[in-house]
Structure 1
Amino acid sequence: MRFQLLGPLSIAEGHDVVVLKPSKPSSLLAALLLHPGSVVSTGYLLRALWDDDQPATARAALQSCVLRLRRIFVKYGVAGDVIEAVPGGYRMNVDTDTLDLVRFRTLVRAADGAGDAEGELYRLKEALTLWQGPLLANVPSLMLHRDEVPGLTEERLRTLERACDIELSLGRCRQVLVDLWEAARRHPGRERFAEQLIEALYRTGRQSEALAEYRAVKGRLKEELGIDPGPSLQRLELAILRGDDLGSVALDQAPQPLEIAAPVRPTAPVAVTAAVPAPDDGGPPRGDRAPAADWPVPPGGRAAPAPLALPASPTHLVPPALPVPPVPSFTGRAAERADITARLRECAPDTTLVVLSGAPGIGKTALARQCAHDTQDTFPGGVFVVAMTHPDGAPLTADEAMAHLPRPGAGDGRALLVLDDVTTADQVRPLLPAAPGGAVIVTSRRGLAGLMATHGGSVHRLSTLDPAESRQLLTAALGAERVAAEPAAAGELADVCGHFPLSLRIAAARLLTRPGLSVEDCVRWLAEDPPARLSLADDPRMSVPQVFGRALHRLEPRWQDAFRRLGDQEGLLVPAHALGDSPEAEEALERLADAGLLEEGPPGPYRIHRLLKIYARRQARERNTGEAATVPH
């Protein structure tokens, strides 16, 4: 059993929620929960119940109110001693498991010590999901709404500002636009939200919209308050007018897993049972529910919702269909790119389905995004990109993904869906009706043969780049002059990187940020410990070991062990009997091939890429010495 304070005051058990009717016991409960674990003085509680108009018998009435609240608790399985009478007042004994406010503050504090931007953002977003609607909408206390609600609201808005700041710092300007549009409109007095929205618009190539938003803010402040925007907003306007670069947007454009507006899993849908009101002020507890029309309006004039009016599922907020920019320094994949774009441009009556599969880090997302950019003029209904896994690697459910896609028939024409990092065919099937007559690009490490069997389409299994394509990528990223100055070293660098697009981009980024480092020295350093050194310290996603680890840890433990055993095999060819002659050994190789950790297979031998083999050997060594790392996030 738990209490929910961040929204209509309610008592919940599992997915069932009882929303309390506005009453004196509801005000008393809210006043106690607002100060969890602390002694709440009798005087404070009296003000919460009667404000300045306290009756002569207020103290006796308070004791009666406590007794009635305890009876309600017993009725719904809450221990009566959760309210403790102490000298000078009362105390509510709750913790992170029994009160959402405590959990919210715990998560926000944990974000402070996360140590990295991704971990901090994950905790902040989890904290924000605890807010379930208008704060204390069913609590009639004037004092609480006047003295307590503004402070709690400020806590939430500061947390939201902080989360949006992190999103912007990570370059996820497109993904955060939906949150910023809503926040800026709901809280026009907070200039920071307006500033974040303007920055996000500008950094996604929408300069005219950014300036229009600034002028709207400026006009509102002038008209309502007679003041100009603050210095920070003014500096931002000047930077936009000058066309300044506001910072790197690499994560927003690079061919890495794309993020949806809210990558943290939402709380489970709330199934509200018949609402059971708290006792009326003038009588014993009642089992009937007052009609919604009889519910009083709480302070501020906002009508309290009837208990059964709470949503049973998250609001369907669809991100705007924004232009898809080209992938920076995209090279290679000419044949696949031509075939995919041709298929996408065909106006077939059914949904056009394209699956891009292959090893982790092979460039599936980059190709999908580049093809979406190439063909976006073909889709008047827009292009919608959804990352199909959460930051912790768990797959999105179909319902979670659908919240970020247009409803069938809701758009202005054909739409293109890009479903990135799909883990199973079952994730995709329920989403295909969202693009009738449109197209869907799916990227996955798996082949998704089951999806092809039921829905048809085309599959492109990507392999590593050839030497010429690798050189083109390095030239596009580093510049022709730097590659031409050390042509042999550039070729060696491509070899050390295994011709993986991800590895090549990581190496190029290291060279770009160290202009005094020669390509030859970079090759020598990387070659001492690949793939461990193919990572960037300031971005855990740009890490070959992390990407390989995520792919490995999606498998069952027995298949993970089979992969580690391959590190001891001679050469890069993996014969069918490499793990033994049993049916399970054969299945293990098939599972690893399906996960993108092996290539080819029967009737010929399997192959393992050199970087994956080194990674398998390292994993086996760490496992044997007890040094194996935990699942990477």
Structure 2
Amino acid sequence: MRFQLLGPLSIADGDDAVVLGPSKPSSLLAALLIHPGAVVSTGYLLRALWDDDPPATARAALQSCVLRLRRIFGKYGITGNPIEAVPGGYRMRADADTLDLVRFRELVREADTVGEPEGELYRLKEALTLWQGPLLANVASPVLHRDEVPRLTEERLRTLERVCDIELRLGRCRQVLVDLWDTARRHPGRERFSEQLIEALYRTGRQEEALTEYRAVKGRLTEELGIDPGPALRRLELSILRGDDLGPTDPGQQPALPGATPAALPASAEVPALPAEGAPAAAEPPPVPARVPPVPFFTGRADERAAIAARFAAESAEATVVVLSGAPGVGKTALALQCAHDLQRDFPGGVFVLPMTHPDGGSRTPEEVVAELPAPVGADGRTLLVLDDVTGADQVRALLASVPVGAVIVTSRRGLGGLMATHGGSVHRLAPLCPAASRRLLVAVLGAERVAAEPEASERLAEVCGHFPLSLRIAAARLLTRPSLRVEDCVAWLAEDLPARLTLTDDPGMSVPHVFGGALRRLDPRWQAAFHQLGELDGLLFTARALGDTAESEEALEQLADAGLLEDGPPGPYRIHRLLKLFARRRAGDRDTGGRGADHDSPAETARH
């Protein structure tokens, strides 16, 4: 058993984790774990539990919380009385095997002393995999969120900055670009990420984009804070305008990016400079394969995981391909990553997760993807590629022709029948979760006590979410961050305007309408119009007759089915998932009214569909 603090507070056993429900004992546990092995004063614990308004019996209530917490430990098989009462407060002992925060700091310290960049990078990346979501999202203590969460977050961001520094100095500018695009957007207040992104763009020959990014950063700082970019950013802009050579990536020389933190990479580390254009690359030590962490709160899909493991069990001279297809939001990427975690020991050559689309949804070229892979791929043994969000068979064919791999997991909203026709393999068309798996997901996120307190409402929540993993995670996250909100009330609120309310305001990507809309926008306008037309019809089953019974009607339904927006097909009728039908109806209403759809589903209509 171990405690997980770097995310929702939870107790884990192997890959299984149980998130604790918001409560005073949970706040007490978090306050102790944040200071592992140290004496935490009674006064601090009282503030952590009651902020500035403790009850008159606060000290007795604190002792009661300690007893309740010890009973929770016993429930989950934690023995040895880890909470120790000492003069002045309490202490909770933890080590790298029992607390992720201790393990994180241990790996960062190891990275400081390893002496060579590949080993340093490996340890820092492993440390970052321990972060599993919003920090203490299920802990209600205002004091911890105000005083401790920012401090812990700073530790993570410093480590992430350091990883990007090393990647840049190793000349892996193309590989790090994908992470930096996302990181710079998520943390606009940290100029260092913007510096790294602009340097990576410039070093990969994208001078115009680098300048555009600089001007965007400058405009934001001026408009929001009334300040200019820092000296490092200004010097970098000047270098780009002049077309300067930023110099080699040897850490023994000046930092490639003006103003870079010298301590980001030990001066003693031996890092080869980038070869001159056209010159043969110097031999590099083989990269250490990255660790693939388990997917937080993953549930269900036992049959698919077993089938994929069996298919990859036998080594083959040719790549073994598995395609995971299905509706947007049904959990294709989560299953692929969980399988990669399950199987990574069987692939000594490494496991590489590669996004196949740009952040705007456009397809990436095979050349862009290959540039992110270390060379030579497969030199140390069988390699597994996870190609996420493939848009067409040609993307995969080109990679298989240029990269020696042992196995490939492909996620795609399309069926990729053309790939199966030319390369073989297997296809798993994912359906929504079964009710039991949906309940396990809610229990994992919300805690068993909260689900057990409202079993019928929890069952109804899963139904309203269509048993889609994306929908369930969004709804559960809303409940997790609102500990006083009843499940029943959440269900009623969601049902009034599905699927529009299945979204998180602080993360635009966690939105059912956004994900469904992204899938629809990839289609030809004719097939988009056909999808809208389905929203205006009754029921969930359709044949070509519903769209006019023409050759184009048949093709429209086939295209929608291939894109994951419909299921089944000839000789029986096509079927649309209820959430997708509600989305289609909403889009049809938006189109008719020129904006927000006027014909919203009432709760009764929502239940009927």
Q: 2:462 aligns with which of 449, 469, 494?
A: 494
Q: Distance in 2 between matches of 1:359 and 1:159?
A: 47
- CA–CA distance in 1 between the matches of 2:583 and 2:564? 14
Q: CA deviation at 1:346?
A: 1.9
The CA RMSD over aligned residues, in Å, is 4.0
Q: Residue 438 in 1 paired to residue 406 in 2?
A: yes
1:187 matched to 2:252? The reply is no
1:37: which partner in 2? none
Contact 1:184 1:193 in 2 (8 A): no
Q: Which runs of 5+ in 1 are unaligned?
A: 1-110, 136-149, 161-180, 198-212, 221-301
Match of 1:388 in 2: 356
Within-5 A mapping of 1:159-308: 187=255, 193=261, 216=266
Same amino acid, percent of matched pairs = 60
Contact 1:506 1:542 in 2 (8 A): yes
Describe the shift of the 1:115–1:337 C-alpha distance in structure 2 as closer, same or farther (beyond 3 A): closer
- Indicate if the aligned counterparts of 2:299 and 2:441 stay in contact, CA closer than 8 A: yes
Partner of 2:201: 129
For structure 2, which runs of at least 5 residues remain unmatched after alignment? 1-180, 208-229, 241-248, 598-609
Check 1:512–1:325 CA distance in 2 against 1; reply closer, same or farther (3 A cut). Answer: same
Which of these residues, 473, 486, 497, is aligned with residue 518 of structure 1? 486
Partner SS for 1:335: helix
Deviations 1:215-274 (A, max 9, x none): x47x99xxxxxxxxxxxxxxxxxxxxxxxxxxxxxxxxxxxxxxxxxxxxxxxxxxxxxx
Distance 1:498 1:159, change over 3 A: farther
Q: Which secondary structure state, in structure 2, belongs to the residue aligned with residue 412 of structure 1?
A: coil
Separation of aligned partners in 1, 2:531 and 2:403 = 37
> Of residues 512, 525, 529 in structure 2, which corresponds to 1:561?
529
Tell me the secondary structure at the aligned position of residue 591 of structure 2. helix
Work out the CA distance in 2 between the residues paired with 1:123 and 1:612. Answer: 41
Equivalent residue for 2:434, pick from 454, 457, 466: 466
Structure 2 CA distance, aligned partners of 1:493 and 1:317? 51
Which residue does 2:236 correspond to in 1? 156
1:371 aligns with 2:339: yes
Deviations 1:304-336 (A, max 9, x none): 98xxx589xxxx999863100000110000100
List per-residue Cα deviations over 1:530-563 (Å, max 9, x = no partner): 1101011111111000000100000011111110
Please point out which of 499, 519, 536 is paired with 2:504.
536
Contact kept in structure 1, 2:499 and 2:582, CA below 8 Å: yes
Match of 2:383 in 1: 415
Q: Distance in 2 between matches of 1:409 and 1:565?
A: 47
Are 1:594 and 2:562 counterparts?
yes
1:624 Cα shift? 1.7
- TM-score normalised by the chain length of structure 1: 0.54
Post-superposition shift, 1:157? 8.6
CA contact (8 A) 1:124 1:159 kept: no
Counterpart among 523, 526, 550 of residue 582 in structure 1: 550
Name the CA distance, whole Å, in 2 between partners of 1:125 and 1:318.
Answer: 26
- The equivalent residue for 1:570 is 538
Amino acid at match of 1:428: V
| Counterparts of 2:524 and 2:195, CA distance in 1 | 27
Aligned letter for 2:442?
L
Q: CA 1:186/1:454 → structure 2, altered by over 3 Å: closer, same or farther?
A: farther
The equivalent of 2:295 in structure 1 is 327
Does the aligned pair in 2 maintain the 1:381–1:415 contact within 8 Å?
yes
Shift in alpha-carbon separation, 1:540–1:386, aligned structure 2, 3 A: same
2:409 is paired with a residue whose SS is: strand
**Closer, same or farther: CA 375–516 of 1 in aligned 2, 3 Å:** same
CA shift at 1:129, angstroms? 2.1
Q: 1:621 to 1:117 in 2, by over 3 A?
A: farther
C-alpha distance in 2, partners of 1:325/1:115? 23
Query: Which of these two proteins has the greater Rg computed from alpha carbons?
Result: 1
Q: CA 1:485/1:560 → structure 2, altered by over 3 Å: closer, same or farther?
A: same
Label 1:327 to 1:409 Cα distance change in 2 as closer, same or farther (>3 A): closer
